[in-house]
Amino acid sequence: MPYDHLHRPRTARRPLALALTVLASAALLAGCGDGQAAQPGGHTPGKGGGTTGPRTTGGPTAPGDPSPSATATATTAGAGPLAGRTVVIDPGHNPGNFRHTSEINQKVDIGTGRKECDTTGTSTNAGYTEAFFTLDVSHRLRDLLTARGATVVLTHDADRPWGPCIDERARIGNKAHADAVVSVHADGSGTGNRGYHVILPALVKEGSADTTAIVGPSRELGRNIVAEFRRATGTAPSNYIGSGTGLDVRSDLGGLNLSTVPKVFVECGNMRDPEDARLLTSAAWRQKAALGLADGIETYLEG
């Protein structure tokens, strides 16, 4: 659950910031944005991870607390169907956000108003955090896309103490002139609420936000991801958001409002539902999820 992307009433999500970084190591984390508000039965700021599983206060250690500012570095591949294309992957939340609540609670401009920099994200009841989930899936997705020739940029790689904030996440995609941006998340809704959904930008033209040029392309990107995610994972679209379409439109997410390139948020499943949690904590299923995202992105980019 991206904080910025906090849905109308959701459950378990705190303001957290996303960081920008190099798509580095090929090693995949065993666990896997935008500050968002909860939607019906979704994540809400202020809820943290459990007491077991990967520690959300983990993350890279370094002398002092370096500034969360960073320079995006891309991993570029050679030949392949996506050669010459740039994709930005935005892993929802940063494992270090739990230790930097004052920083991630500071509000930033999202065009339509001001919102917390980010949230901590949600977790399964057993303590497997969204921040670890999103990073793991993002690494898998990066590897699949670079193998297909794309240049891939990560907004962060848990290489900074917290963040980046939701507005910075948007700027990273804009600065990269990305052909597509996908923000990876997992929801924190109630038991019985299952399935994935893709959040699309609403038509917003207010303050520093103007999504006029990206609403159409982002919807096409979202539709392709919905179809390919279902094919790759065998799971169904959300039974509690989107009326079975797997699509949801939001005007309250800074990461979407401030984007000038096609961008969507993907809630891969509901971490608070036991059945969905079983899938989300499976490395084999996370690989399928990454494949679904990669196939959806490729289908979109190939027109």
The active-site residue, picked from 103, 130, 267, 298, is 267
Check if 206 is active-site. Answer: no
Torsion angle defined by CA atoms of residues 269, 272, 274 and 280, in that order, rounded to the nearest 10 degrees: 40
Phi, psi of 8 (to 5 degrees): -50, 160
Query: How many angstroms separate the CA atoms of 175 and 68, rounded?
Result: 17
What is the pairing mode between strands 247-250 and 197-201? parallel
Buried b (16+ CB within 10 A) or exposed e, 225-238: bbbbbbebbebebb
Q: Cα separations (Å) of 246 from 118, 189, 221, 268?
A: 24, 15, 13, 10
- Give me the active site residues, please: 267
